């Protein structure tokens, strides 16, 4: 490599890379400052600069790269999937169900999206793919009572895991958030410790609005972790770095396609390299 | 937020002794805050750049009139330039062709294509008295075709009968044929969601376009999209020649910078906006509203 003095122009270029990956201006500035600290004016090869950038991004992500652990004492372990419309909740439930099945667990799905057209059929197909029964009620039924029934049934049948789907909702729609709150409340009537995980699903293309999503879904449904989908596209999902700094919530999985196996554990180093434009 | 920007610009500019016209230096200081506000609103960086260049050239030398402060003056120039870039007039769906007029809906996974297809079909049928046929070419997503058919029943619009085993191009041909035979005015083709780097699927949609010669190709995109909006808009426009954009989830509290990004890089109008899950939640695009939102007004 030919080395060059690290100058402000190079640092500005790095900031652009981060902004274009959706880290947001404040976090981008902070990370680039860390890259420049004690290095401005020193001779560094361009490739090395990117590696340093990746390391700084990784540093922000390592604390939140936490696997989803199913507490064996909870039977069923209840996972509630929440998020805005179209983020990938139903698909991710299908992928998770297949994964838990492959680990030898008995899984049940609850078709808690009783609103959207054919949402129930969609989950049914995923249930078949994963080999997990799906509890359904007709479209238009009350989502909270469906969740109640499903948990009661999963308990009776001694299932290891219950995955509950919910309708997509935007976090500023108060009436829909109240409905979600009710789902959680009703689940607790069956098992006061449930839901044991509440996963917010984020689309990799999402921009700064994800901050408000985490804030409000967190308040209403008590989210315990994040999943980011659609990282097989061109979006880098850098908002996760801003979210990590601000909320510190675990990031469990990433979605990398529409197939049943297209779910991977979140790996801070790989994610950071992609954001820095390496690989 | 707009108040935030407004205040910041006032803070920067209004403490300067009032001169006749804004200097380059004044404007550059202000534009740093404008840049920041636009990035916070998810406007893509390259669009931020060309936009602030445009604002700079308009603002430098602009005479500050007695009734306003320099800060307000710059805010007004930014706002007006935003509205202008977003497109000043409502641009309706064009049906000016020999029926059945094909409309092709494209976009990323989950952006709102199927929902918007049904909303638009309903509107064309109920408000403009067109006879519309909808067809789902989505052979991939579980229950995608059922979804469109349920929506068709809800809004009272015909859907093409589902035939298992056909590929997207075959379904599209069948839809056109059925529309011709059935005397339909419009045939709406809903497609599977696809990432723009999925070469096989991008080829498929290009093939559908070539076979059906749609009069409108509408890119359906999420208003909550961040910086990726430019990649998505460019890639779809490059492959299938988008004629307009449908911006969904405008009922969210996102700042909507994606609208500016997509409009700026494609030059294609935003034709309609989705404002909810329900079938009547579809509105004309009002540039000033989105401009206000981008600025946090
Ligand atoms: N490319 C890609 N597509 C995905 C991924 N995850 C989900 N999708 C697609 O995104 C679209 C929406 O996914 P859903 O699972 O229906 O999303 P949802 O959050 O349940 O949507 P609503 O219930 O309507 O709010 C579908 O076309 C999925 O196939 C992913 O990781 N990569
Ligand atoms: N709040 C809100 N939700 C919307 C809007 N448009 C669509 N949706 C919701 O977004 C989700 C995805 O919509 P779809 O129409 O299934 O999206 P799609 O692009 O067809 O998805 P794929 O076919 O999987 O690529 C659904 O939950 C819709 O109800 C809108 O304008 N506002
Ligand atoms: K999205
Ligand atoms: Mg769903
Ligand atoms: Mg669809």
Secondary element (H or E) of residue B206: helix B199-212
Contact B88, B287 (CB under 8 A): yes
Sign of the torsion formed by the C-alpha atoms of A256, A261, A264 and A270? negative
Going by pLDDT thresholds of 50, 70 and 90, the confidence category of residue A3 is: confident
Model confidence at B294: pLDDT above 50: yes
Residues of chain B neighbouring A94 (CB-CB closer than 8 A):
142
In whole angstroms, what is the distance from residue A10 CA to residue A15 CA? 9
In whole angstroms, what is the distance from residue A65 CA to residue A253 CA? 9
**Higher confidence at residue A157 or residue B5?**
A157
* Cα B47 from chain centroid (whole Å): 15
Residues of chain B neighbouring A17 (CB-CB closer than 8 A):
none
Q: Is A87 in the pocket of ligand 1 (CB under 6 A)?
A: yes
Give the three-class secondary structure for B274: strand
Distance from CA of A53 to the nearest CA of B (A): 19
Contact B279, B103 (CB under 8 A): no
A161-175, A189-203, B65-79, B216-230: the lowest-pLDDT one:
B65-79
* Cβ contact B40–A24 (<8 Å): yes
Distance from CA of A193 to the nearest CA of B (A): 32
Q: Is B138 in the pocket of ligand 2 (CB under 6 A)?
A: yes
Query: In sequence order, which residues have a C-beta less than 8 Å from that of residue B238 and are 6 or more positions away?
Result: none
Q: Which atom of ligand 2 is nearest to the CA of B117?
A: 15
* Cβ contact B225–A88 (<8 Å): no
Q: Which atom of ligand 2 is nearest to the CA of B192?
A: 23
pLDDT 10s digits, A22-51: 999 999 999 999 999 999 999 999 889 999
Contact B45, B227 (CB under 8 A): yes
In whole angstroms, what is the distance from residue A34 CA to residue A44 CA? 15
pLDDT 10s digits, A57-75: 999 999 999 999 999 999 9
Query: In sequence order, which residues have a C-beta less than 8 Å from that of residue A75 and are 6 or more positions away?
Result: A155, A158, A159, A160
A160-169, B36-45, B62-71, B77-86: the lowest-pLDDT one:
B62-71
Q: Is A131 in the pocket of ligand 1 (CB under 6 A)?
A: no
CA count, 13 A, side-chain hemisphere, B77: 26
Our CA angle for A71, A180, A143, nearest 5°, is 90
Residues of chain A neighbouring B39 (CB-CB closer than 8 A):
19, 24-25
What is the pLDDT, as a whole number, of residue B1?
Answer: 39
Of B141, B154, B195, the CB nearest to A232: B195
What is the pLDDT, as a whole number, of residue B2?
Answer: 47
What is the pLDDT, as a whole number, of residue A1?
Answer: 62
In whole angstroms, what is the distance from residue B88 CA to residue A165 CA? 41
Of B146, B150, B249, the CB nearest to A85: B249
CA-to-CA separations, B172 to A52, B47, B144, B215, in angstroms, rounded? 50, 36, 15, 14
Of A24, A125, A205, the CB nearest to B228: A205
CB pairs A-B closer than 8 Å: 137
Distance from CA of B102 to the nearest CA of A (A): 24
Q: Which of residues 58-117 of B touch A (CB under 8 A)?
A: 108-112
Give the three-class secondary structure for B152: helix
Contact B173, B211 (CB under 8 A): yes
**A91, A112, A252, best to mutate for ligand 1 pocket (most atoms within 8 Å of CB):** A91
The two beta strands, B282-284 and B270-274, are antiparallel
For chain B, give the mean pLDDT.
93
In whole angstroms, what is the distance from residue B189 CA to residue A265 CA? 36
Q: Is A264 in the pocket of ligand 1 (CB under 6 A)?
A: no
Q: Is A83 in the pocket of ligand 2 (CB under 6 A)?
A: no
DSSP codes, chain A? ---EE--HHHHHHHHHHHHHTT--HHHHHHHHHHHHTTTTTSEE-HHHHHHHHHHHHHHHHGGGB-PPP--TTSSSEEEEEE-STTSSHHHHHHHHHHHHHHTT--EEEE----SSTTHHHHHHHHHHHHT--EE---TTS-HHHHHHHHHHHHHHTT-SEEEE------TT-HHHHHHHHHHHHHHHHH-TT--SEEEEEEETTB-THHHHHHHHHHHHH---EEEEE-TTSS---THHHHHHHHH---EEEEE-SSSTT-EEE--HHHHHHHHTT--
Residues with CB under 5 A from ligand 4 (ion): A 89-90, 113
What is the pLDDT, as a whole number, of residue A189?
Answer: 98
- Residue B102: closest CA among B219, B214, B244, B241: B214
The ipTM assigned to this model is 0.97
Q: For ligand 2, atom 24, which residue shows the shortest CA distance?
A: B110
Mutant choice from A16, A86, A254 vs B, greatest count of B C-beta within 10 A: A86
């Amino acid at each position: 490599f030919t080395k060059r003095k690290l100058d402000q122009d190079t640092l500005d270029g790095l900031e652009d890379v981060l902004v274009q990956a959706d880290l947001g201006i404040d976090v981008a500035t902070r990370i680039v400052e860390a890259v420049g600290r004690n290095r401005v004016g020193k001779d560094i090869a361009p490739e090395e600069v990117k590696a340093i950038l990746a390391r700084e991004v990784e540093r922000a992500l390592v604390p939140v790269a936490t696997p989803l652990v199913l507490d064996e004492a909870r039977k069923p372990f209840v996972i509630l999937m929440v998020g805005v419309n179209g983020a990938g909740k139903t698909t991710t439930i299908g992928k998770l169900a297949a994964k838990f099945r492959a680990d030898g667990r008995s899984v049940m799905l609850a078709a808690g999206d009783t609103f959207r057209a054919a949402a129930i059929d969609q989950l049914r197909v995923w249930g078949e793919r994963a080999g997990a029964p799906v509890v359904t009620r007709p479209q238009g039924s009350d989502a909270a009572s469906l969740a109640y029934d499903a948990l009661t049934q999963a308990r009776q049948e001694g299932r290891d895991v219950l995955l509950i789907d919910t309708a997509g909702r935007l976090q500023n729609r108060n009436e829909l958030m109240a409905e979600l709150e009710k789902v959680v409340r009703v689940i607790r009537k069956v098992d006061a410790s449930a839901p044991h995980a509440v996963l917010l699903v984020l689309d990799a293309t999402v921009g700064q609005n994800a901050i408000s999503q985490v804030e409000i879904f967190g308040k209403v449904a008590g989210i315990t972790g994040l999943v980011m989908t659609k990282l097989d596209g061109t979006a880098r999902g850098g908002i996760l770095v801003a979210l990590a700094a601000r909320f510190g919530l675990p990031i469990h999985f990433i979605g990398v396609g529409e197939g049943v196996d297209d779910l991977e554990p979140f790996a801070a180093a790989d994610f950071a390299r992609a954001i820095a434009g390496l690989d | 937020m707009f108040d935030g920007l407004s205040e910041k610009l006032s803070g920067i500019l209004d403490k300067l002794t009032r001169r006749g016209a804004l200097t380059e230096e004044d404007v550059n200081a202000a534009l740093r805050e404008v840049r920041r506000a636009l990035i916070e609103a998810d406007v893509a960086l390259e669009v931020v750049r060309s936009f602030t260049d445009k604002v700079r050239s308009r603002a430098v030398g602009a005479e500050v009139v007695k009734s306003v402060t320099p800060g307000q003056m710059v805010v007004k120039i930014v706002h007006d330039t935003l509205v202008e870039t977003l497109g000043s007039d409502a641009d309706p769906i064009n049906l000016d062709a020999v029926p059945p007029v094909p409309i092709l809906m494209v976009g990323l996974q989950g952006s709102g294509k199927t929902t918007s297809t049904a909303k638009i079909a309903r509107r064309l049928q109920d408000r403009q008295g067109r006879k519309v046929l909808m067809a789902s070419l989505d052979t991939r997503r579980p229950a995608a075709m059922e979804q469109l058919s349920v929506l068709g029943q809800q809004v009272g619009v015909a859907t093409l009968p589902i035939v298992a085993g056909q590929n997207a191009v075959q379904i599209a041909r069948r839809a056109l044929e059925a529309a011709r035979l059935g005397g339909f005015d419009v045939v709406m083709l809903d497609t599977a969601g696809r990432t723009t780097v999925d070469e096989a699927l991008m080829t498929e949609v290009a093939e559908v376009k070539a076979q059906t010669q749609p009069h409108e190709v509408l890119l359906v995109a999420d208003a909550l999209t961040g910086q990726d909006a430019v990649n998505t808009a460019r890639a779809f426009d490059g492959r299938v020649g988008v004629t307009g954009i449908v911006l969904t989830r405008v009922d969210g509290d996102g700042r909507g910078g994606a609208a500016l990004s997509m409009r700026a890089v494609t030059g294609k109008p935003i034709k309609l906006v989705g404002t909810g899950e329900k079938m009547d939640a579809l509105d004309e695009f009002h540039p000033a509203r989105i401009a206000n939102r981008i600025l946090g007004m």
